[in-house]
Structure 1
Amino acid sequence: MTMDDVPLDDKVKRTRDLLSSFYSQDSSQTSVPTNSTSRFATLDTINTTSFDADQYMNLLVQKSNLEGLLQRHVEMAAEIKNLDTDLQMLVYENYNKFISATDTIKRMKNNIVGMEVNMEQLLDKIMSVQSRSDGVNTSLFEKREHIEKLHRTRNLLRKVQFIYDLPTTLGKCIKSEAYGDAVRFYTGAMPIFKAYGDSSFQDCKKASEEVMAVIINKLQDKVSSDSESIQARAEAVMLLKKLDFPVENLKSKLLEKLEQFLEELDLFVEIKVASEDHHESTSQGNETDSISPIHEVPTREFVEAVHAYHVIFPDSEQHLVKLVHDLTTRHFEAAKQQIQEQISSAKLLNRLRFIWTDVLLIDDVLPEAGIQDFAFEAARVALKQYVTSSFSHLLQEISDTLLQIQKDGTGQEHPLKVALEASRNVLLQGSTKVLSDIRHLLDDDLGLVLKLRDILISWVQEGFQSFFRQLNDLLVLLSGKNVSTAQEQFLTERVQADKVPAGLVLVIAELSVFIERDAISRITEEIGSSLSGGGPTFVPAEVRHTFRSAGEKFLLRYINMRSQRISILMKKRLSTPNWIKHKEPREVHMFVDLFLQELKAVGSEVKQVLPHGLTRKHSRTESNGSTSSSRGNTLRDNRTNTNRARSQLLETHLAKLFKQKMEIFTKVDHTQESVVMTIVKLCLKSLQEFVRLHTFNRSGFQQIQLDMQYLRITLKDSAEDEAAVEFLLDEVIVASAERCLDPCPLEPAILDRLVQAKLAKTVDQETAAS
């Protein structure tokens, strides 16, 4: 086994142990106690200084068999060989160092040979200097003692002179109002007055006390004076305290002055903030500039006064904490007031920067108040109010925009279109402005806002989620659907009387579709690009689902409102005359014109708001047959037998229902054609039901036939589903025939002549109006 066969880690460990044992100066550090070795003997003790060969062999024989002993013999032979090799390498490596050390020792020995002579000469010179120094000290000793005595006498005379001149000096301090120097001089002379005030310096003490009494009165007046600054008052209290004057009675007065100073500071801050806001609104400067030093001057004076008060009255911490908390609360209350007035983010930052500057100044001198934590909590409330107020303002703007339809819609050519575009713009621009304002707050390095960054982002995302819920509730409220008692007053105040314009409901329906299809995607993208961090609290899918359902409900609400209005007109038309005594029809009834006018108004509204749909007109095929012609023939063939005619009409009607299987009412789309068609179908269906409630004579039946024929022609070009319209018109005729005592229809020629006359009259009226 060679050196190459030994693992590298074992070789390095062995070399390190050899070097350690070679250079070790304390063999006891690596040795193991004998009693420990005997008690806890192992095969690893071969590398220690307390190695016992016999004990090792006994242990080895006990633990190993013959094959293991032979293997251990081979290993130990290899280790011995390796150790010899390592030792030789160690000697070779240190040989040059041994030679160099030997040469160095030789040179040191040669250099020390002449050093003893030089040291003896130096010692002689030092002894000579010491003897001469002792001689000089002996000769000057008496003179030095005399000089020191004279110096002490001179200092004593100065002190005596100062005591005699003290009343005059104090008087000069009064004239120059240097009360601090006066107190310092008097307190410095107090030890002498206490020792000799009743004997040698009795007159000086008495005169000084009289002057100090005047100074104490002046200091008291200074504390109570309104013209003095709070810092000067605090200094006066400090001086009185040094004179052992009882200042507890001045504590409440000074605290009252601090509170008064607080009000003045608060007023100054309001004026300064207002001026800063005006400057920012009239200039294009950087809005994040540092606070003007002019603001820091009164604040710093207040802070220094608080600090001085705290030093003078150490037990006044509770009062001072309440005082600075009151200052911060006033600042934030003013900020909240501005937030209610729709303050901009720049002005809010300016206000918060003023507050934070004051907080940092106060925290330096009164850390016990915990003013930073107090300010953070107040800022949390203020910023939460700011976010809530921003969304409330946006909601109010959308509401005002929609309500303009009723206020001044009649004065505009396309009021619904204008209102829809305006509400869309308000929604998108308002949302962008909210995000921009929050981004402006977050981009600033103000510590008061940075600590609330994540929660502010969460508030904004939660605010958007809540905003769209509230917007949905607002749209439901403005549409007049499911209005509660509490909301009825709001609706009455915002919408004239208790009437909700149908056009407003149509705009609300299309706005809901816009929110679901377009606005949510844009706002989601802007939130992702503007705000990073916070929790994913805005759920676009939920909002889309809400407004998808709302859009359908509002559109049906509009259709129902328009259909109900027309149905009331039809019901009134059918309820007014006595159909049993109805005269022979001469022209189309006026209610048809009113019906067409309502449909024209509906068309005008939907054209402003809804897009065109796919062009598809469903016409009746000849296979379905002509209801009017077949019934006309049936009626003409059965004039002599009314009951038989009615029976055959009923049979024909039932056969037709099973034959056509026509789907009248389908899903309503957000298109012009679909909405108008649905209203027409509903109105004609209502007309059919109203007809079933009356009994007609022949003339009454013929009047209904004439009116329906005119509608058949006028609705033909505008109807998307012509087949359904004709079917419903036929249904009205059939219903009137079923309720007629003598269902004899008009002759086709007479019917055509009356319809053409009405069409010509209508054309003339339109020409004259244009």
Structure 2
Amino acid sequence: VGKVEHSVLYQTTLTLTEVAPYLSVGELDAGVSAPKAKQALQEGIFTHTATLFETFAALCRIVTGRETDVPLEGFPPSMSDELIAEFQSIEWRALFALALVRIGRHLEQRGLQRISQMAVAQYPGQQSTTFAQTTVPALTKKTRQAAQRLLSAYAFHTGQQLSHLLRKSIRTPDWLHVREPRDVRWVMEVVVKEVREADNQLARMLGDPRKPKQHAIRSSALLRIRRTQMELEMDRLFARKVLIFGEIPFNRNGAVVGILRIAFKALYELVRDETFGKFGLQQIQVDCAFLSDMIRELVEQDDANGLDGLLDEVVTSASQRCVDPVLMDPAIVETLCDEKRARMDFSE
């Protein structure tokens, strides 16, 4: 990815540098005055430079639109139908999407500013000033929006994949007749590993590594330790107001939180369609406590508390749909989560 970024910027700046000497030629074409020739040359080089970034933004929009049903905007005039069709045929790949996000972010933050400065230096005059003051800010905005939407599409796509795993895990068991839980279900281990993989991808591509954290204190909301009914209700109200499909911040933590919100909201909706026995409810309690425990290593404390609210909603919903709503003793839940954690391999 770094090589692609370097190549794009190198070729663009090289073109600006190599074309500049032609401005000193007296007559560039028979019958065309030098001022007009210079103006045409500058206009052409600035137009082609702008087209490069508009094409990149269009590629991001095509990938984003396929994943989130975002209406596609107009494409640059230079893009042929064949090129658009080629872009549209690209199969979704999470790492490819993140690579585009990284390239777009770096072009926005560093590349366009560098090109703007070079244009003013190499092509002094009104055209370069207009390019730097009007065209470049517009391109910067387009590039930022394209990368931002693509990052949101990545979170949406990954969250939907986790939702599919959870859907199968909720709809398959007979929750009225499951046995007393003695372990966290295997699918929760898969979910945690998938989230950690996404976290690693985001850290590498966004240059935003996760800071090592000590084992965090478990959520008292999910273990139901020393929580008043009013405190629980406040958490539920907060969880219901959380924007699930909102714009994703341009950082690792924000993207991971977005992924988890989608997955946990899906889990809540799935639980609402089931009927639980006593042990079925307790299994949901154990699974949610494990998820709450594991995500605290991946996201900031405030975000973890908000996600706890969604998981608490899952347990509450299961309780309301349970024929014998008796929760498991928190100490036993904690022991089961510890045993599951000890058996998991998180070597990276």
TM (normalized to structure 1)? Answer: 0.38
Select the residue among 116, 120, 125 that pairs with 1:524: 116
Equivalent position SS for 1:448: coil
Tell me whether 1:465 sits opposite 2:50 in the alignment: yes
Name whichever structure is richer in helix by fraction.
1
Structure number with greater CO (CA < 8 Å, separation at least 6) is: 2
Aligned partner of 1:448 in structure 2 is 29
Counterpart in 2 of 1:312? none
Q: Is the Cα contact below 8 Å between 2:275 and 2:321 reproduced in 1?
A: yes
Number of residues of Structure 1 aligned to a counterpart in Structure 2: 322
Matched letter for residue 454 of structure 1? Q
Partner Cα distance (2:21, 2:83) in 1: 36
Q: Conserved in 1, the CA contact under 8 Å of 2:195 and 2:256?
A: yes
Question: Deviation string for 1:202-243 (max 9, x for gaps)?
Answer: xxxxxxxxxxxxxxxxxxxxxxxxxxxxxxxxxxxxxxxxxx
Residue 754 of structure 1: aligned partner: 336
Distance between the aligned counterparts of 1:579 and 1:626, measured in 2? Answer: 23
Pairing of 1:34-49 with structure 2 (within 5 A)? none
Q: Residue 428 in 1 paired to residue 9 in 2?
A: yes
- The alpha carbon displacement at 1:446 in A equals 6.7
Q: Alignment partner for residue 224 of structure 2, among 613, 622, 629?
A: 629
Aligned to 2:98: 506
Output the amino acid matched with 1:473: A
Ranges in structure 1 where 5+ consecutive residues have no aligned partner: 1-418, 635-648
What is the CA distance between 1:436 and its match in structure 2? 2.6
* Structure 1 segment 114-133 matched on structure 2, within 5 A: none
Stretches of structure 2 that go unaligned for 5 or more consecutive residues are: 73-80
1:581 aligned counterpart, secondary structure: coil
**Equivalent residue, structure 2, for 1:201:** none
Structure 2 distance, partners of 1:462, 1:604, is 38
Report Cα offsets for 1:322-377 as digits up to 9, x if no partner: xxxxxxxxxxxxxxxxxxxxxxxxxxxxxxxxxxxxxxxxxxxxxxxxxxxxxxxx
Distance 1:766 1:469 in 2: 41
Instruction: Note if contact 2:175-2:277 (Cα within 8 Å) is conserved in structure 1.
Output: yes
- In the TM superposition, what is the alpha-carbon distance from 1:522 to its structure 2 partner? 0.5
Identity across the alignment (%) = 21
Rounded to whole Å, the distance in 2 between the matches of 1:486 and 1:521 is: 31
Is the alpha carbon distance of 1:732 and 1:599 closer, same or farther for their aligned partners in structure 2, counting shifts above 3 Å?
A: same
The equivalent of 1:607 in structure 2 is 203
| C-alpha displacement of 1:621 | 11
Verify the 8 A CA contact 1:588 1:706 in the aligned structure 2: yes
1:585, 1:703 within 8 Å by CA — same for their partners in 2? yes
Seen in structure 2, the aligned counterparts of structure 1 residues 439 and 696 have a Cα distance that, compared at 3 Å, is same
Tell me what 2:146 maps to: 550
Aligned to 2:78: none
Query: CA contact under 8 A between 2:63 and 2:88: conserved in structure 1?
Result: no
- Partner of residue 730 from structure 1, selected from 312, 315, 330: 312
Q: What is the RMSD computed on CA atoms of the aligned residues?
A: 3.5
Q: Which residue of 2 aligns with 1:692?
A: 272
Aligned-partner Cα distance in 1 for 2:84–2:178: 45
> What per-residue deviation string (whole Å, max 9, x for no partner) do you get for residues 722-765 of structure 1?
31132222121111111212111223343233223222222xx5
Q: Deviation of residue 694 (structure 1)?
A: 1.4
Alpha-carbon spacing, 1:425–1:479, altered in 2? closer, same or farther (3 Å)? farther
Report if aligned partners of 2:223, 2:333 keep a CA contact under 8 Å in 1. Answer: no
Structure (1 or 2) with the larger CA radius of gyration: 1
Name the amino acid aligned to 2:14. Answer: K
Q: State how far apart, in whole Å, the 2-side matches of 1:703 and 1:614 are.
A: 30
TM-score, reference length from structure 2: 0.79
- In 2, distance between residues paired with 1:621 and 1:580? 32
- Matched-pair contact (CA < 8 Å) for 2:63–2:150: no
SS of 1:669's equivalent in the other structure is coil
Once residues 202 and 232 of structure 2 are traced to their aligned partners in structure 1, the CA distance between those partners, rounded to angstroms, is 35
Q: Per-residue deviation at 1:630?
A: 5.8
Pair 1:575-2:171 in alignment = yes
Cα pair 1:506 1:609 within 8 Å, conserved: yes
Spell out the pairing of 1:76-95 with structure 2 (5 A cutoff): none
User: Does the aligned pair in 2 maintain the 1:477–1:487 contact within 8 Å?
Assistant: no
Q: Shift in Å at residue 667 of structure 1?
A: 6.2
Q: 1:517 to 1:693 in 2, by over 3 A?
A: same
